[in-house]
Amino acid sequence: MKGLYSFFSLLLLIAIALIGVQLVKWHFLFGVIIPYLAVAIFIIGIIYRVVKWAKSPVPFRITTTCGQQKTLPWIKSSRFDNPSNLFGTLVRMAMEILFFRSLFRNTKADIKDGKIVYGGNKWLWLGGLAFHWTFLIVLLRHFRFFTEPTPFFVSWIQNLDGLLQIGVPVMYMTDVILLGALTYLFLRRVIIPQVRYISLASDYFPLFLIMAIGTTGVLMRYVPSMKVDIIAVKELTLGLIGFSPVVPEGIGATFFIHLFLVSLLLAYFPISKLMHMGGVFLSPTRNLANNNRARRHVNPWDYPVKGHSYEEWEDEFRELMKDCGLPLEKEE
């Protein structure tokens, strides 16, 4: 039911964009105004969330570890699972951000024959890694629409991505892997009872939204009846980047729907769980070296606190304690 709410909400938004472009002809609204608003919300929202997180006090090192801490020289320590210096912390962060190492080591629990059995959960790691990397590659490929001339690395990425050329136009591997990974992540939430139970509408909506973005992009590229004028699209995007927007004629409704969905994703990003993209860099359980035994860390916000000793407490409540029959260290 939670997934249906998100699904029909997205269908309603797509219908609004389709009606606005096809019937009302609000091309400037969906091609210029909404993208500008979305980018502004995205930038301001990201800055606000990151600054708010950065202001949170972290007086103690609360590093989450899964290895031997550095102690005596003859005891082998885990340099990267339990880093004790900056280099180890940077390597650990890099492995986490680029390869999802903690997710790779994740386990799942099942009950078999009345016993709890723990096993690997590599499919989730593979699906998440495939989605994030292909999404990044697709994003980099789109740089050709926002730059003139096209950067050299974009051509390299396109050539590698289309290495297994299938038909014309070239079938990009990342298009297939991206939609496949998203489908797996969605089916996992639906099929596994425990995951379905804890899933919220806010978990389904980003999945549906990104799937819709990918689907409209694939339709524009591979379906002849939905192809768009690439030259007109680049003219629009270059105008947006240069703050001199012009909406050319004949772009096509599919592109405006695609652009509207991307704008929704940008505007939704700062208020959603997708902010883990920035949060992973600021997590004190990850970005600090675990050197609590080797170095004393004094709370910088520490201040003198007036204590209240037991003697003072007894003096304050002596009469009440007498009335209740409680023992006293001194009668007067």
The predicted pLDDT at position 1 comes to 66
Of the candidates 287, 332, 309, 294, the residue with the CA atom closest to the CA atom of residue 91: 287
Which of residues 247 and 37 earns the better pLDDT score? 37
Give a yes or no: residue 144 inside a domain: yes
Query: Which candidate, 265, 263, 268, 266, places its Cα nearest to that of 30?
Result: 263
Look up residue 167 and give its DSSP letter. S
pLDDT at position 258, please?
A: 94
Q: Which residues contact 187 (CB under 8 A, 6 or more apart)?
A: none
pLDDT tens for residues 4-20? 888 899 999 999 999 99
Please tell me what DSSP assigns to residue 114: T
Q: Which residue has the tokens 């974009």?
A: 154
**171 in any annotated domain:** yes
Q: Give the span between the Cα atoms of 233 and 225, in whole angstroms.
A: 17
pLDDT in tens, 41-93: 999 999 999 999 888 887 778 888 888 888 888 988 888 888 888 999 999 99
User: How far apart are alpha carbons 47 and 181 in whole angstroms?
Assistant: 29
The pLDDT of 27-33, averaged and rounded, is: 92
Checking if the pLDDT of 300 tops 90, the result is: no
Helices and strands counted in the chain (H then E): 14, 2
For residue 331, is it within any domain? no
Closest to 280 (Cα-Cα) out of 50, 78, 55: 50
Q: Please report, as a single letter, which amino acid is at residue 172.
A: Y
pLDDT (tens digit per residue) in 94-125: 999 999 988 888 877 777 877 887 777 788 89
Dihedral sign computed on CA atoms, order 8, 217, 230, 264: positive
Residue 202 structure tokens? 């806010």
Residue pointed to by tokens 């989605």? 131
What does the pLDDT read at residue 97? Answer: 92
pLDDT in tens, 231-270: 888 999 999 998 888 888 888 889 999 999 999 999 999 9
Are 257 and 216 spatial neighbours (Cβ–Cβ below 8 Å)? yes
Predicted confidence (pLDDT) per residue in 141-173, tens digit: 999 888 888 888 888 988 888 887 766 678 889
Could you give the number of structural domains in the chain?
1
| Mean pLDDT of the residues in the chain | 88
- Provide the pLDDT for residue 187: 93
pLDDT band at residue 332 using 50, 70 and 90 as cut-offs: low
Local confidence band at 183 (pLDDT 50, 70, 90 cut-offs): very high
Question: Is residue 263 in a domain?
Answer: yes
pTM for the model stands at 0.84
Q: Determine the structural domain holding residue 227 and report its residue range.
A: 2-304
CATH number at residue 161: 1.20.950.20
Residue 117's DSSP bridge partners are: 110
Instruction: Look up residue 61 and give its amino acid.
Output: R
- 329 occurs within a structural domain: no
Q: Is residue 101 part of a domain?
A: yes
Q: How many CB atoms lie within 10 A of CB 315?
A: 11
In this structure, is residue 312 part of a structural domain?
Answer: no
pLDDT-based confidence at 208, cuts 50/70/90?
A: very high
Look at residue 109 and give its three-state secondary structure. Answer: strand
Domain assignment present for residue 326? The answer is no
pLDDT at res. 222: 86
* Distance, CA of 62 to CA of 65 (rounded, Å): 9
